[in-house]
Amino acid sequence: MTSQKKYELYRGMLLIRRFEEKLTELCAGGKVPGMVILCTGQEAVAAGVCGALEKEDVIISNHRSHGHLLAKGADPNLIMAEIYGKSTGYNKGKSGTLHIAAPEVNALCTTTVVGGGIPIVVGTAFAQQYNKSGSVSVCFFGNGAADEGSFHESLNMAALWNLPAIFICENNVYSGAQRMEDHTKVKDIATRAIGYDMPGVVVDGNDAVAVYNATVEARERCLAGEGPTLIECKTYRWRGHGESDHQVYQPKDEIACWMERCPVEKLQKELLDEGFITRQEVLELENEINKAVEESVRFAEDSPWPAPEDALEDIYA
Amino acid sequence: MTSQKKYELYRGMLLIRRFEEKLTELCAGGKVPGMVILCTGQEAVAAGVCGALEKEDVIISNHRSHGHLLAKGADPNLIMAEIYGKSTGYNKGKSGTLHIAAPEVNALCTTTVVGGGIPIVVGTAFAQQYNKSGSVSVCFFGNGAADEGSFHESLNMAALWNLPAIFICENNVYSGAQRMEDHTKVKDIATRAIGYDMPGVVVDGNDAVAVYNATVEARERCLAGEGPTLIECKTYRWRGHGESDHQVYQPKDEIACWMERCPVEKLQKELLDEGFITRQEVLELENEINKAVEESVRFAEDSPWPAPEDALEDIYA
Amino acid sequence: MQNISMGQAVAQALSEEMRRDPSVFMAGEGIGVGIHDSPLMPTYGLLQEFGPGRVKDTPVSEAVIAGLAVGASVLGLRPVVEVMFFPFFTLASDQIVNHAAKLRYLSGGKSAFPMVVRIKAGAGFGAGCQHSHNLEAWAAHCPGLKVVMPGTAADAKGLLKSAIRDDNPVIFIEDMGLYFFPTPVPEEDYTIPIGVADVKKPGRDVTVVTWSKMLGTAFKAVGPLAKDGIDIEIVDLRTLLPLDKETILNSVRKTGRLVVLHEATRTGGFGGEIAALAAEEAFEALKAPVKRVTAPDIPVPFSPPLEKFYLPDEAQLIQAIKDIVKA
Amino acid sequence: MQNISMGQAVAQALSEEMRRDPSVFMAGEGIGVGIHDSPLMPTYGLLQEFGPGRVKDTPVSEAVIAGLAVGASVLGLRPVVEVMFFPFFTLASDQIVNHAAKLRYLSGGKSAFPMVVRIKAGAGFGAGCQHSHNLEAWAAHCPGLKVVMPGTAADAKGLLKSAIRDDNPVIFIEDMGLYFFPTPVPEEDYTIPIGVADVKKPGRDVTVVTWSKMLGTAFKAVGPLAKDGIDIEIVDLRTLLPLDKETILNSVRKTGRLVVLHEATRTGGFGGEIAALAAEEAFEALKAPVKRVTAPDIPVPFSPPLEKFYLPDEAQLIQAIKDIVKA
Ligand SMILES: Cc1ncc(C[n+]2csc(CCOP(=O)(O)OP(=O)(O)O)c2C)c(N)n1
Ligand SMILES: Cc1ncc(C[n+]2csc(CCOP(=O)(O)OP(=O)(O)O)c2C)c(N)n1
Ligand SMILES: [Mg+2]
Ligand SMILES: [Mg+2]
User: D256-304, pLDDT tens digit by residue?
Assistant: 999 999 999 999 999 999 999 999 999 999 999 999 999 999 999 999 9
Of D88, D102, D270, the CB nearest to C129: D102
- C-beta atoms surrounding B283 within 10 Å: 10
Do the Cβ atoms of C59 and B95 come within 8 Å?
A: no
Percentage of chain A modeled with pLDDT above 70: 100
Average pLDDT over residues C139-164: 98
> Residue D98: what pLDDT?
98
Q: Does A83 map to a domain? A: yes
B83, B266, C297, D72 from B45: Cα distances, Å:
22, 13, 38, 25
User: Alpha-carbon Rg of chain D, whole angstroms?
Assistant: 19
Ordered by where they begin, the domains of chain C are 2-185 (3.40.50.970), 198-326 (3.40.50.920)
CA distance to partner chain D, nearest, from residue A277 (Å): 41
> Which of D36, D58, D302 is closest, CB to CB, to A93?
D302
Residues D98, D104 contacting (CB under 8 angstroms): no
User: Domains in chain A: how many in total?
Assistant: 1
Residue C132, pLDDT > 80, answer: yes
Using a CB–CB cut-off of 8 Å, the residues of D that contact A are 29-30, 33-37, 57-63, 87-88, 91, 125-131, 296-299, 301-306, 308-310
Three-point CA angle D101, D102, D108, nearest 5°:
130
Q: What are residue C124's phi and psi, to 5 degrees?
A: 115, 5
Give the residue from chain B lying closest to A181, CA to CA.
B160
What single DSSP character describes residue D299? P
Nearest chain A residue to D129, by CA: A95
What is the amino acid identity at position A111? T
- Closest among B105, C264, B128, C311 to D107, alpha carbons compared: B105
| Record: contact C57-B315, CB cut-off 8 A | no
CA geometry: angle A36, A39, A44, nearest 5 deg? 160
Say how far apart CA B78 and CA B300 lie, in whole Å: 8
- Following DSSP, what letter does each residue of C157-189 receive, concatenated? HHHHHHHHH-SS-EEEEEEGGGSSS-EEE-SS-
Length of chain B: 317
Average pLDDT over residues C39-55: 97
Residue B315 falls inside a structural domain = no
SS (H, E, C) chain B: CCHHHHHHHHHHHHHHHHHHHHHHHHHHCCCCCCCCCCCCCCHHHHHHHHHCCCCCCEEEECCCCHHHHHHCCCCHHHHHHHHHCCCCCCCCCCCHHHCCCEHHHCEEEECCCCCCHHHHHHHHHHHHHHCCCCCCEEEEEECCHHHCHHHHHHHHHHHHCCCCEEEEEEECCEECCEEHHHHCCCCCHHHHHHHHCCCEEEEECCCHHHHHHHHHHHHHHHHCCCCCEEEEEECCCCCCCCCCCCCCCCCHHHHHHHHHCCHHHHHHHHHHHCCCCCHHHHHHHHHHHHHHHHHHHHHHHHCCCCCHHHHHCCCCC
Q: Which helix (H) or strand (E) holds A218?
A: helix A208-223
Which residues of chain C make contact with A317, given a CB cutoff of 8 A? 104, 109, 112-114, 167-168
pLDDT of residue B34: 84
Mean pLDDT over each residue of chain D, to the nearest integer: 98
Domain containing residue A255: 3-310
- Residues lining ion ligand 3 (Cβ < 5 A) are A 142-143, 172, 174-175
Question: Is B89 part of the contact surface with chain D (CB cutoff 8 Å)?
Answer: yes
Closest Cα to residue A231, out of A173, A186, A172, A190? A190
State the Cα–Cα distance between residues D309 and A142, nearest whole angstrom: 33
Q: Which atom of ligand 2 is nearest to the CA of B116?
A: 1
Cα D30 from Cα B74, distance rounded (Å): 41
Q: Please, what's the b/e burial string for A232-263 (b: 16 or more CB within 10 A of its CB; e: otherwise)?
A: bbbbbbbbbbbbebebebbeeeebeebeeebb
Question: How many angstroms separate the Cα of A268 from the Cα of each of A7, A8, A9, A30, A279?
Answer: 8, 11, 10, 32, 9
Q: Is there a contact between B120 and B111 (Cβ–Cβ < 8 Å)?
A: yes
* Ligand 2 contact via B7 beta carbon (within 6 Å): no
In a domain, B282, yes or no: yes
| pLDDT reported for residue C37 | 85
CB atoms within 10 A of CB A11: 17
Does B178 contact C30 at a Cβ distance shorter than 8 Å? yes
Inter-chain touch D111–B109, beta carbons under 8 Å: yes
Q: Is residue A316 part of a domain?
A: no
Sign, CA torsion D232/D238/D241/D246: negative
Interface probe, candidates D60, D64, D266, D267, chain A, greatest A C-beta count within 10 A: D60
D30 Cα nearest atom in ligand 1: 23
Beta-carbon contacts of C172 under 8 Å, excluding residues fewer than 6 positions away, are C116, C117, C118, C119, C148, C149, C159, C160, C163
- For D140, D197, D250, D269, D287, the CA distances from D246, given in Å and listed in that order, are 18, 9, 6, 21, 19
Residue A32, domain CATH: 3.40.50.970
Q: Is residue C327 pLDDT above 80, yes or no?
A: no
Q: What distance lies between CA D253 and its chain's CA centroid?
A: 25
DSSP letters for A56-87: TSEEEE-SS-HHHHHHTT--HHHHHHHHHT-T
Structure confidence at residue A34 as a pLDDT band (50, 70, 90): confident
Provide the number of CB pairs (under 8 Å) joining chain B to chain C. Answer: 130
For range A215-238, the mean pLDDT: 98
Chain A residue numbers with beta carbons less than 8 Å from the beta carbon of C63 are: 119, 149-150, 153
CA A291 to chain C, closest CA, distance in angstroms equals 27
- B317 within a domain of the structure (yes/no): no
pLDDT digits (tens, 9 = 90+) for A252-308: 999 999 999 999 999 999 999 999 999 999 999 999 999 999 999 999 999 999 999
Tell me whether the omega of the peptide bond preceding residue A308 falls within 30 degrees of 0, making it cis: no
Residue D1 to residues D183, D188, D198, Cα–Cα distance (Å): 9, 9, 20
Residues of A in contact with D302 (CB under 8 A): 33-34, 85, 93-99
3-state SS, residue C315: helix
- Is the Cα torsion angle D243, D247, D250, D255 positive or negative in sign? negative
- What is the side-by-side strand order in the sheet with C232-236? C198-201, C232-236, C206-210, C258-265, C291-295
Contacts of D301 in chain C (CB under 8 A): 105
Contacts of A122 in chain C (CB under 8 A): 64, 67-68, 71
> Is B306 touching ligand 2 by the criterion CB < 6 Å?
no
pLDDT, mean of residues B249-270:
98
**Ligand 2 atom with least separation from CA of C91:** 1
Residues from chain A contacting residue C59 (CB–CB below 8 Å): 153, 156-157, 160
Enclosing H/E stretch for D174: strand D170-175
* Percentage of residues in chain C having pLDDT higher than 70: 100
Q: Is residue A315 part of a domain?
A: no
Write out pLDDT tens, residues B232-252.
999 999 999 999 999 999 999
Catalytic residues of C: 62, 131
Within chain C, how many helices (H) and strands (E) appear?
12, 14
A114 ligand 1 Cβ < 6 A = yes
The residue in chain A having the minimum alpha-carbon distance to the alpha carbon of residue C70 is A120
Let me know if D133 is a catalytic residue: no
| DSSP run (H or E) holding C303 | none
> Taking CA atoms, what residue in C is nearest to A135?
C75
Helical segments of chain C, H only = 6-20, 46-50, 62-74, 89-93, 103-106, 136-139, 153-165, 214-227, 245-255, 271-281, 304-310, 314-326
* pLDDT over 90 percentage in chain A: 99
Q: Is C236 in the pocket of ligand 2 (CB under 6 A)?
A: no
Q: How remote is the CA of residue B177 from the centroid of ligand 4, in Å?
A: 9
Which ligand 2 atom minimizes the distance to the CA of D94? 1
* A92 part of a folded domain: yes
Task: Provide the pLDDT confidence category of residue C58 given band limits of 50, 70 and 90.
Answer: very high
Calculate how far, in angstroms, residue A185's C-alpha sits from the geometric centre of ligand 3.
15
Q: How is residue D32 annotated by DSSP? A: S
The answer to whether D190 and D158 are in contact (CB under 8 A) is: yes
| Catalytic site residue from D29, D62, D233, D307 | D62
Residue D37 has pLDDT above 90, yes or no: no
Q: Is the pLDDT of residue D254 over 90?
A: yes
| Residue A305 exposed, middle or buried by CB count within 10 Å (0-12, 13-18, 19+) | middle
Q: Which of D106, D241, D276 sits opposite C292 (nearest CB)?
A: D276
> How far apart, in whole angstroms, are the C-alpha atoms of residue D85 and residue D89?
7
Q: Is the CB of B114 under 6 A from ligand 2?
A: yes
pTM: 0.99
Residues C113 and C76: beta-carbon distance below 8 Å? no
Is the model's pLDDT at D110 over the cut of 90?
yes
Instruction: List pLDDT tens digits, range D143-176.
Output: 999 999 999 999 999 999 999 999 999 999 999 9
Residue B316 placed within a domain: no
Q: For A143-216, where are the E strands, in sequence order?
A: 165-171, 174-175, 178-179, 200-204
In this complex, the residue of A152, A186, A198 whose CB is nearest that of residue B197 is A186
> What is the dihedral sign for C-alpha C31, C33, C39, C40?
negative
B113 lines ligand 2 (CB under 6 A): yes
Across chain C, mean pLDDT equals 98
Asked if the Cβ–Cβ distance from C271 to D267 is below 8 Å, we say no
| Mean predicted confidence (pLDDT) in B18-26 | 98
